Amino acid sequence: MAERARLDQPREVRRGIRTRPRREPDPERFGRFAESTARFLGTATFIAWMTVFVVIWVGWNASFGPDRPRWDAYPFIFLTLILSLQASYAAPLILLAQNRQEARDRVTQEQERDATAQANADMEFLSREVASLRMGLGEVATRDFIRSELRNLVQELNPDSDKT
């Protein structure tokens, strides 16, 4: 006879197919991609490769050579479409990268402002401490003052010591 499951005891753990723990999606991943893309788009390497691409495209599709299959039968409309598409993706990626850099700059400025405020507070504290030390030193007896006072006391105690 099959045992009935008891409600007061936990179920037996079943070992099945192991699944990988799900990782939370990284919200910064696309931002890092946008920054790396924007950095690449701003390099001479990108300009050189884009120039090579356009020159090859124009050379292949222009009427300079013998008849052959052309990618762009009409005067460079497909090239214009590709360049517009590239620009339409590049512009938002560059803006996203700039926004991320602006946010980093803002955090850096806040940290620098806090550090500057702390340094100013420390300098004010130290200047007050130096001023109080100067005031305290003004009331401290110097070595010459103590010697002169001791000499005067010795002379008062031994009036005959002046004659020697």
What confidence tens digit (pLDDT) does each residue in 32-64 have? 888 888 889 888 999 999 999 998 888 887 766
Alpha helices per DSSP H over 9-76? 29-41, 44-61
Q: What is the pLDDT of residue 22?
A: 73
- Among 15-29, 82-96, 99-113, 127-141, name the one with the lowest average pLDDT: 15-29
Whole-model pTM: value is 0.53
Residues 41 and 96: their CA atoms lie apart, in Å, by 13
Residues 113 and 88: their CA atoms lie apart, in Å, by 38
pLDDT in tens, 97-156: 899 899 999 999 999 999 999 999 999 999 999 999 888 877 777 888 889 989 999 988
Query: Rounded mean pLDDT of 1-7?
Result: 66
Average pLDDT, the chain: 84
Residues 157 and 155: their CA atoms lie apart, in Å, by 5
Q: What is the pLDDT of residue 52?
A: 94
Tokens for 89? 């993706």
Q: What is the pLDDT of residue 1?
A: 53
Q: pLDDT band for 159, please (50, 70, 90 cuts).
A: confident
The domain ranges of the chain are: 29-137
State the CB neighbour count (10 A cutoff) for residue 92: 10
